[in-house]
Copies of this chain bind each other. A is one copy, B any other.
Amino acid sequence: MTDAENTDRQTVSHTFRVRYAETDAMGIAHHGSYVDWMEMGRTEFMRAFGFTYRQLEEMGVLLPVLEINVRYKAAAVYDDELRITTWVEELTRVRVKLAYKIERTSDNLLLTEAYSLHTFAGPDGRPIRITHHPEAWEKMQRMAPPEILRSGE
């Protein structure tokens, strides 16, 4: 279930359940699972804007990860229904920073706050300027409110 919210900060929420395979011997969702959920979050974020990451890859633009940061506030357990909310925090010609929060839907408890920083790269993994792909650049800009578009690098 995905729900786009077109306010100033354009966020997209997606709900899902914790799989058994995603838990660990502490009885909770393994902290590494959140990294895969962030990836799912950005997939659904782009889809909500009518421009999928798969299309981006087919245009020859990859989004390799430069950095991730995840802060864990509370734990989830197997079968919990969670909601990941994704938004663009920074967009330049050479990179994009996405932010995420993950909440438990039953009581809106905040579990995690996170971000991921990505560079734009060609099929060979080398950095490119997204402005060299005008169609992709135009679409990426729609995902980011004007005030966070930075002209610099």
Residues of A whose CB lies within 8 Å of any CB of B are: 17, 19-21, 23-28, 30-32, 35-36, 39-40, 43, 52-54, 57, 62, 64-72, 75, 77-79, 125
Q: A17-B43, A35-B31, A35-B32 are in contact. Are A25 and B72 (CB under 8 A)?
A: no
- Would you give the shortest CB distance from A135 to chain B, in whole angstroms? 19
Q: Once the chains bind, are B79 and A71 in contact (CB under 8 Å)?
A: no
8 closest pairs, A vs B, by CB? Answer: A23-B25, A32-B35, A21-B36, A31-B65, A54-B79, A69-B69, A67-B71, A25-B27
Q: Which of B62, B75, B79 contacts A43 (CB 8 A)?
A: B79
Q: How far is the CA of A23 from the CA of B70 in the complex (A)?
A: 21
Q: Once the chains bind, are B69 and A67 in contact (CB under 8 Å)?
A: yes
Could you list 9 further interchain pairs (A-B, Cβ under 8 angstroms) beyond the known A23-B25, A31-B35? A19-B39, A20-B25, A25-B25, A25-B77, A52-B79, A54-B79, A65-B72, A67-B71, A68-B69
